[in-house]
Chains A and B, each alone.
Chain A
Amino acid sequence: MAVLRRILTRLLVGFGVLWGAASLTFLAVYLIPGDTALLILGGPDARPTAETLAQVRADYLLDQPFIVQYGSYLGNLLQGDLGQSYRLRLPVTEAIGQQIGATAALSAAAVALALPLTFAVAILSAQRASWIRSIVSGIEVVFAATPTFIIGFALLIVFSFTLHWFPIGGNQGPVALVLPALTLALAIFGTLSQVLRNELEDVLEQPFILTARSRGMRDLPVRIRHALRHAAIPVMTMSGFVVAALLGGSVIVETLFSRQGIGALTLASVYNKDLPVIIGIVLLSAAVYVVVNLVIDLLYTLIDPKVVTA
């Protein structure tokens, strides 16, 4: 019952976030200086006539007051209509739909690499001899602080140009996915592992860990059966960061490795001021964020009894 109410509130909050994101981007686009009709027609270079400009303004309700434009925008949104891309002459949903598969595959592969790596490193290195911790924490800092495209460059130079193990880019097959996914995974690992390891170090000093050891439990089982669940809770809270890392990182990685996907679409839309697509991608990222947090919230109720019973 409490869980159900929790889910419902979260859903409501999630809708609020989506509505907020939609309104915010709409407001930003509305307030920018510049002629939207001109943008729709392909920018100043297109040299449209006065009539076509007026026609476009009427079609897109640009001559109407703000509240009318906003109302029609929200109404379309509720029907799943995100508008037309200025550049591709396609519905935005279609433009995003074409690209989402590639980015989803990239993200899934990155997460599948990052999580096991993070957990293994953190479990094995937490509270070990100080030289081990120094080395691991050094590696983490390097991966967390280094800009993603530099990690990608390093992987490219070593594995593609020197060892010729992987192609330098493209969307062809799983082999082409390895380096881009590894790039994202390493960046996620750097940050996540810092958090998980620090958390584990704290948890391992808790009295209940001493109690577990005093029962005769060996070190690794203590880490996995007792410490890990406690340490995983704050890490789960960071899932928002992971989502951001994946979406933001895809812009970099897809550019660097010449891949198709949402990231490449974002960049092309930013170059061309293709505002409907940009808004669509913002909404997509907000939706992903909301869904992921909802899932995480459900996981909390499984891990932490206090959420349910307190």
Chain B
Amino acid sequence: MSLTARTLPPAAAPPAPTAPPAPATPDPNPAHRGRARRWRVRPGILLASAFLLWLATAVLAPGLLASGDPYAVDPAGSFQAPGSGAWFGTDDSGADNYTRIVHGAATSLYIGIGATAIGVVGGTAIGLLAGLNGRLVEASVMRFLDVTLAIPEILLALVVIGIIGGGTENAILAIGAGSIAYYARITRAQTHLVRRSGYVEAARTLGLPAWRVLLTHTVPNVIKPVLVLATIGVGSAIGAGASLSFLGLGTPPPAPEWGAMLSSGRNFISNAPWMITFPAAFLVATVLSITVIGRELRRRAEGRLP
């Protein structure tokens, strides 16, 4: 499992002290002003977008990219090095590496999105519950989250699998459950910020009923940054899914799943390294592309926040 690159959300800012009677000091360096707001297309983003386009095709219409059968076995043609016959070589059973990689994209994305969905839905529900209710509910929920925080996500996922067993769906459940606490903490912190915000107060002074303020201001402003972070989360969940398969606890072979391919390739690393390098390259490219796009979304979203 990847060491998911998750940083804890900043603690909810303390209530703003009475504003000092000072004009805001402008940053003397105009190059820094509005740095987060300027939208430049950088080569990394273009590259990531292009790869994600390829990935989307591989998920929706794998036949367009690789017409062969990912399960086709050809004992005579095993361990072919990359070349004209098989672009990315063949594996120990003679199956075409490229075809299997293309067809494996769907499983990876299924795991990544599925697990993130579980984490986001569970996490925002718990986080909103904690952030919108009284002190007692909040305190107990937060202590509960403290406990889950003490156990690394991967260990949590392994415990879940130790209890319910392996397989693709169970891996999704395990990874998703492991990330609930993370999303719950962000949601709660964000809920506090939004609840104390001037615009919620302004809406209240307009005489809008509490439920409308909640639905039109609070919840959307809480959910949006969580969803942005969730895009990055999809990347790390894909990595986690591949890691579980690599450990033999996720999608079992012979399914064309990248982690599983890497797991079986491990035994032939010295004589058929292409069984490792190609699935690894596509896995890394996928996780990186999603991370890069997710960070760009976050960068832009944060520029929009006051």
Contact = CB atoms under 8 A, between A and B. Distances in A.
Measured as residues with beta carbon below 8 angstroms from the partner, the interface class of chain B is 35 or more
Given A150-B283, A290-B150, A269 B288 contact: no
A145 B291 CA distance: 7
B184 interface: no
A146 B7 contact: no
Q: Is the interface of B mostly helix, strand, loop or mixed?
A: helix
A195 to B, nearest CB: 6
B239 A248 contact: no
Interface in A124-151: 138, 141-142, 144-150
B260 to A, nearest CB: 12
Interface string B23-39: 00001000010000000
Interface string B265-291: 010011001001100100110011001
B261 to A, nearest CB: 12
Interface string B235-249: 110011011001111
B239 A145 contact: yes
Given A20-B147, A29-B163, A248-B152, A156 B269 contact: yes
B144 interface: yes
Contact of A146 (B27, B149, B288, B292): B288
B246 A149 contact: yes
B288 A266 contact: no
Interface string B145-156: 011111111110
A270 interface: yes
Contact of A147 (B27, B242, B266, B273): B242
Contacts of B266: 153, 256
Measured as residues with beta carbon below 8 angstroms from the partner, the interface class of chain A is 35 or more
Contacts of B276: 153, 157
B37 to A, nearest CB: 17
Contact of A286 (B151, B235, B295): B151
Interface stretch (A46-54, A95-103, A277-285): A277-285
Contacts of A270: 158-159, 161-162, 249
A203 interface: no
Nearest to A198: B7
A145 B247 contact: no
Given A24-B147, A248-B1, A148 B243 contact: yes
B1 A145 contact: no
Contacts of A245: 3, 152
B236 A145 contact: yes
Interface in A254-277: 255-256, 266-267, 269-271, 273, 275
B3 A141 contact: no
Given A138-B44, A147-B239, A282 B155 contact: yes
B304 interface: no
A255 B158 CA distance: 14
B5 A144 contact: yes
Chain A CB within 10 A, most for which of B2, B152, B239, B269 = B152
Nearest to B162: A270
A248 B162 contact: no
Contacts of A267: 158, 247
Given A161-B273, A194-B5, A249-B3, A149 B151 contact: no
Given A145-B235, A145-B287, A195-B7, A153 B159 contact: no
B287 A241 contact: no
A267 B152 CA distance: 14
24 contacts: A20-B146, A20-B147, A21-B151, A29-B163, A145-B5, A147-B283, A149-B242, A150-B280, A150-B283, A153-B262, A194-B7, A205-B27, A243-B152, A248-B3, A248-B153, A251-B1, A251-B158, A252-B243, A271-B248, A273-B162, A275-B163, A282-B155, A289-B150, A290-B150
| Top-4 shortest CB links A-B | A248-B154, A244-B152, A20-B147, A147-B2
